[in-house]
């Protein structure tokens, strides 16, 4: 994304125009399509490559995944407990857009997904039957199985999401930068985020999101196939699964083409209702008291083992279990982090960093623990008591695990049908919402890009999921998640550093948002306060701000440059449609820079937030934002006179000279 200014939403009749950030869109599309074609044309060869790739990553970079994910958890806990916890994700006087109840409900929805349905039974029963160490099928194996499941779905997963979500929310809402991954690296590389480095970061985010979504879709279709096999006898085979992917991706694409934003939102809300009904059904019809007891004990056991489990690499006892489970999950969560991170960022404006971390870290994790306990402990209890050989059945057909458990409860067919419907609705919303996230990144965070672009990415997700199934089923899905996450995990490390750098500059009232409306010191002139208030509160459109840059800001900077010409310095003024930039070189002492940019403001939208159309009450409005090379926060200069702009610039230039001992 080259331009941080938000664009005006598209009119409904302009759906076939092109609105992309060409380097990111084209590179991502070529890489994804090349992958899909190679997998479809050479399935055996691609399977060999997948196997070798996973083995190489596990052998050489497994330690890196373990260390970085542990670091992410330590980092977010540090921010929550430090003085930075009081910093708001927005101006200092901003308030949360949503109540705690609504916010928690949306965090709950973010914690749900196809994977939770797929692994709710499959993972605990797998750990119980085949633990990484020790004998399977025992009481101890049952205890350890739930701890391992909690470990994979607990604090570490949400710490990964927090790193991305917190950085997006902070730089978008408090620092006024675009809602995109590259913005988090602004403290490190400055305006170079708009060049090749920024493009590469966004490409990594696109690839990670695509393979993360495709992995979820692949797991989902395995379970849909198992559900239809249980209900109506539909054969379990790759051709059937490809057909199901095509059919359900078609449903997601249809919702995009028809513009059913409200429908997709309602479908997401339906997911929560269906998941709650299924959870309540199993809890009530199953061993209720035992499940509550197990939940309490499981949480305690998890908290007691979270530190040693975090750093366990099985270095002295090499075990394929680590790659098949822990590294797969770490890669999966990292791949999904741009997706989920954007969602939780979107709904968290006005929260403090402490509120954000505590809420995101604890609420979804606790619900996930309850879900895994209800389904996982029910399955283990059935196997231990001899009611049903769940472990033996799962060994032969992993996706059927959930339906084997439901089959032992009353109204088994009804419950299995509900579970299958739930997976399908998750499938549709994941494909549609994942496509929107990728489209936001590849279009330069455009508010309402053409529909065909979103359709294109939805189809790509379905195609990649199909290719992965053909190329090796679950093993290929795991490899895709682990591999795609490797480059983005490196980006996330720099995101942490960039966020910390930015937070270290925090002072009261330092937000770059429109809360900074006061006139900078030295920029005051005899302009009435009424005129100044009008300039602050009025919503300006793009032509007005462009005219201000052209008719007021440019002459002011030219006057300064003309004065410098006679002092032995060589100022340079560059401009384009949205920015005027003055640079003054001082050799080895550095370069002074002062820029005024037209910047659009509107709360960023996301998949579960209804797309705002031009006719809606909240529209994009523009301000002239000035900033200098002195590390000051961009501030609103809309409505300034030439003298005010000149005074503002000179104040910052004086600071530049003083800090570099150039004299007054």
Specify the pLDDT at position 615: 44
Count of C-beta atoms within a 10 Å radius of residue 11: 12
- Helices 100-111 and 328-346, axial angle in degrees (round to 10): 150
pLDDT digit string, tens, across residues 366-379: 989 999 999 999 99
Contact (Cβ atoms closer than 8 angstroms) between residue 625 and residue 636: yes
For residue 513, pLDDT beyond 50: no
CA distances from 568 to 101, 553, 563 (A): 63, 24, 10
Q: For residue 588, what pLDDT band results from cuts at 50, 70 and 90?
A: low
pLDDT, average across residues 436-442: 80
Query: 623-653 pLDDT, tens per residue?
Result: 888 888 765 667 888 888 888 888 888 888 8
d(CA 446, CA 440): 6
Instruction: Provide φ and ψ at 498, rounded to 5°.
Output: -65, -40
pLDDT band at 206 (very low <50, low <70, confident <90, very high): confident
Q: What percent of the chain has pLDDT over 90?
A: 18
Instruction: Give residues with Cβ within 8 angstroms of 653, minimum separation 6.
Output: 584, 592, 594, 628
Integer Cα distance of 480 and 544 in angstroms: 48
pLDDT greater than 60 at residue 3: no
Give the strand order in the sheet containing 591-601: 572-575, 579-585, 591-601, 621-628, 635-636
* Residue 356 scores a pLDDT above 60: yes
- How many residues in total does the chain contain? 664
Q: What is the dihedral of CA 629, 633, 637, 638, to 10 degrees?
A: 120
What's the pLDDT score for residue 515? 31
Average pLDDT of 519-527?
43
CB 579 within 8 Å of CB 569: no
The residue with greater pLDDT, 197 or 77, is 77
| Residue percentage of the chain with pLDDT more than 70 | 80
Q: What is the pLDDT of residue 478?
A: 66
Q: Are strands 591-601 and 579-585 parallel, antiparallel or unpaired?
A: antiparallel
Cα–Cα nearest to 104, from 365, 298, 353, 342: 365
Mean pLDDT calculated for residue range 115-134: 87
Answer yes or no: are the C-beta atoms of 54 and 484 closer than 8 Å.
no
pTM beyond 0.75, yes or no: no
Residue 358: the pLDDT is 93
DSSP code per residue over 308-371: HHHT---TTS--THIIIIIIHHHHHHHHHHHHHHHHHHHT-TT-BHHHHHHHHHHHHHHHHHHH
User: pLDDT category, 589, cuts 50, 70, 90?
Assistant: low
**Half-sphere exposure (Cβ direction) of 207: Cα atoms closer than 13 Å:** 28
Residue 79 CA to its chain's centroid (Å) = 19
């Amino acid at each position: 994304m080259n331009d941080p200014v938000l664009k005006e939403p598209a009119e409904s009749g302009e759906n076939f125009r092109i609105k992309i950030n060409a380097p990111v869109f084209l590179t991502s599309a070529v890489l994804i399509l090349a992958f899909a074609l190679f997998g479809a044309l050479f399935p055996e060869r691609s399977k060999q490559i997948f196997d070798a790739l996973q083995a190489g990553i596990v052998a050489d970079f497994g330690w890196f995944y373990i260390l970085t994910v542990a670091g992410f958890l330590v980092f977010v806990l540090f921010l929550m407990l430090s003085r930075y916890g009081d910093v708001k994700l927005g101006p200092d006087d901003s308030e949360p857009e949503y109540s705690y109840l609504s916010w928690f409900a949306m965090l709950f929805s973010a914690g749900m997904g196809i994977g939770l349905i797929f692994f709710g039974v499959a993972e605990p029963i797998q750990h119980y039957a085949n633990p990484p160490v020790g004998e399977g099928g025992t009481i101890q194996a049952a205890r350890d199985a739930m701890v391992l499941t909690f470990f994979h779905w607990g604090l570490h997963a949400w710490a990964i999401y927090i790193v991305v979500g917190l950085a997006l929310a902070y730089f978008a809402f408090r620092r006024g930068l675009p809602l995109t991954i590259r913005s988090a690296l602004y403290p490190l590389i400055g305006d170079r985020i708009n060049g090749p480095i920024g493009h590469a970061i966004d490409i990594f985010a696109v690839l990670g999101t695509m393979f993360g979504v495709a992995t979820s879709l692949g797991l989902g279709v395995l379970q849909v196939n198992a559900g239809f096999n249980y209900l109506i006898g539909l054969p379990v085979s790759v051709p059937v699964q490809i057909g199901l992917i095509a059919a359900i991706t078609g449903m997601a694409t249809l919702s995009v083409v028809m513009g059913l934003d409200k429908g997709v939102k309602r479908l997401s809300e339906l997911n929560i209702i269906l998941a709650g009904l299924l959870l309540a059904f199993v809890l009530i019809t199953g061993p209720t008291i035992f499940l509550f007891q197990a939940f309490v004990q499981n949480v305690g056991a998890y908290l007691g083992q979270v530190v040693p489990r975090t750093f366990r690499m099985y270095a002295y006892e090499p075990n394929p279990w680590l790659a098949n489970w822990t590294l797969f999950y770490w890669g999966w969560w990292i791949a999904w982090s741009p997706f989920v991170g954007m969602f939780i960022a979107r709904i968290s404006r006005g929260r403090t960093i402490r509120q954000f971390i505590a809420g995101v870290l604890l609420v979804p994790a606790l619900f996930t623990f309850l879900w895994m306990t209800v389904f996982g402990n029910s399955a283990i209890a059935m196997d231990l008591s001899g009611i049903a050989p769940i472990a033996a059945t799962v060994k032969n057909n992993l996706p059927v695990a959930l339906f084997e458990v439901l089959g032992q409860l009353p109204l088994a067919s009804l419950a299995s049908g509900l579970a299958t419907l739930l997976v399908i609705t998750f499938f549709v919303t994941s494909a549609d919402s994942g496509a929107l996230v990728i489209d936001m990144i590849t279009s330069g965070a455009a508010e309402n890009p053409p529909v065909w672009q979103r359709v294109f990415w939805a189809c790509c997700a379905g195609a990649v999921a199909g290719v992965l199934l053909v190329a090796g089923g679950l093993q290929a899905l795991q490899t895709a998640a682990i591999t795609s996450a490797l480059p983005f995990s490196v980006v996330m490390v720099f995101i942490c550093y960039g966020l910390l750098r930015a937070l270290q500059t925090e002072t009261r009232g330092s937000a770059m948002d429109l809360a900074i409306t006061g006139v900078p010191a030295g920029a005051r002139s005899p302009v009435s306060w009424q005129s100044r208030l009008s300039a602050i509160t009025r919503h300006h459109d793009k032509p007005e701000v462009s005219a201000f840059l052209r008719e007021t800001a440019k002459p002011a900077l030219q006057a300064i440059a003309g004065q410098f010409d006679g002092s032995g310095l060589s100022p340079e003024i560059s401009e384009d449609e949205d920015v005027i930039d003055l640079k003054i070189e001082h050799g080895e002492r550095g370069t002074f820079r002062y820029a005024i940019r037209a910047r659009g403001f509107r709360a960023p939208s996301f998949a579960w937030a209804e797309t705002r159309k031009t006719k809606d009450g909240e529209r994009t409005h523009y301000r002239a934002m000035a900033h200098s090379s002195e590390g000051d926060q961009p501030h609103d200069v809309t409505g300034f006179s030439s003298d005010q702009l000149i005074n503002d610039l000179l104040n910052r230039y004086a600071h530049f000279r003083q800090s570099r001992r150039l004299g007054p």
